[in-house]
Chain A
């Protein structure tokens, strides 16, 4: 679970990025955000991720201490997303996207549950935690959950000597600006499934929450942060050695790679998306966000 101090917001249905201040500099963001949201609805995440790649150019372990935890309110929002469009696993065997063969009732499939409600804070801050689990799992269900994530930042800032209200593009995560760095993506990250239970990578720590989190990008900034994720369960997968634990942002304790592992055999891909928008230049800096 990862929580920011911002005002809590309920999980909302997907919606285009919203803006009311039509100043010239922000129109590109709005259009881009809307275009991406439309693309998500129409194409599914797999296709969208490929689009974002094109635009962008592109088993460590952990021992957890014991201790009582002040758990935040757990919102049991089950979000089992059916596959749409080409949201399958790239033609892998065992996928359910072909439509030609329905999965058996006992087929293990991935489920996503919100465990830390979406919260936002000023100037682009947000946090949202979901938990992965395997439906129809048995003690013999093993494999890996692998999530493909892409982040797209469209952020501008006012800074001296610009005239008041004027902005220039900036790069979140660089220099004095906080936030997720686009350079960390595309990313594939993994949780092991052993005996039907999910763990933090290959460690013995039980999986708690996959968190999308970003601190404030900075004062006098405005723009949109989009995170587009697609997760799938791969039964009996041997995780490629390219996946390594760096104990660093953004995957932290998860084994991850920036190279497409070209996995096949996923059982049912799930979308996992967040879009955050804010205006700390002409507005209050309050962040609004939507999740899928």
Chain B
């Protein structure tokens, strides 16, 4: 584990230190467990965990991918019970994901930063089938009973904001 990975894994690192460390970790060199360990550990601050989820998706989720495969990558998704999952139905606007015919879009809002120093982190998901948000959460935490639900695919996802950056250099 290099210095930046150590900084990221340290629960005492402040938000900017976390973001600076993440920005220094090259893509494609980390194991998913670096991110899931923090994301699934409630002893880290919500923002720290949200950054971990963000980086896990950005670096390790390639679409299309089944919910079952995604659940494996999330390693339990212990952060999901604290996230808000909303199905996108009413709109007069646009999402950053294209919804396939017969599919549905969702937004997963990660637990926020109480000081609001950083924007809310969210993930848009486009699935190839419509699904109840509760079932989506079950599938991502590997607790869905219905095998058909586990085979639903994420066709596309988008992270907001596009980039995470420290507020101080």
Residues in A with CB closer than 8 Å to B93 are 189, 210-211, 250-254, 256
Task: Say which size band chain A's interface belongs to.
Answer: 35 or more
Task: Say which size band chain B's interface belongs to.
Answer: 35 or more
| B47 CB–A CB distance under 8 Å | no
- CB-based nearest B residue for A181: B90
- B61→A65 contact, CB < 8 A: yes
- CB-based nearest A residue for B61: A65
| B81 CB–A CB distance under 8 Å | no
B-contact 0/1 string along A61-99, CB 8 Å cutoff: 111111111111100000000000000000000000000
- A227→B119 contact, CB < 8 A: no
| B88 CB–A CB distance under 8 Å | yes
Quote the shortest CB–CB distance from B99 to chain A (angstroms): 5
Q: A61-B161, A66-B63, A207-B94 are in contact. Are A252 and B155 (CB under 8 A)?
A: no
Return the contact of B101 from the options A70, A149, A189, A252 (Cβ within 8 A): A70
| B50 CB–A CB distance under 8 Å | no
A-B contact pairs, 30 of them (CB 8 A): A1-B100, A3-B99, A3-B103, A60-B119, A61-B161, A61-B162, A61-B163, A62-B124, A62-B160, A63-B96, A63-B159, A63-B162, A64-B156, A66-B63, A68-B64, A70-B100, A70-B101, A71-B101, A178-B90, A187-B92, A200-B95, A203-B162, A204-B162, A209-B98, A210-B92, A215-B90, A245-B160, A247-B122, A250-B93, A253-B94
User: Which residues of B are interface residues toward A (Cβ below 8 A)?
Assistant: 57-58, 61-64, 88-103, 105, 107, 109, 119-120, 122, 124, 126, 128, 130, 154-163
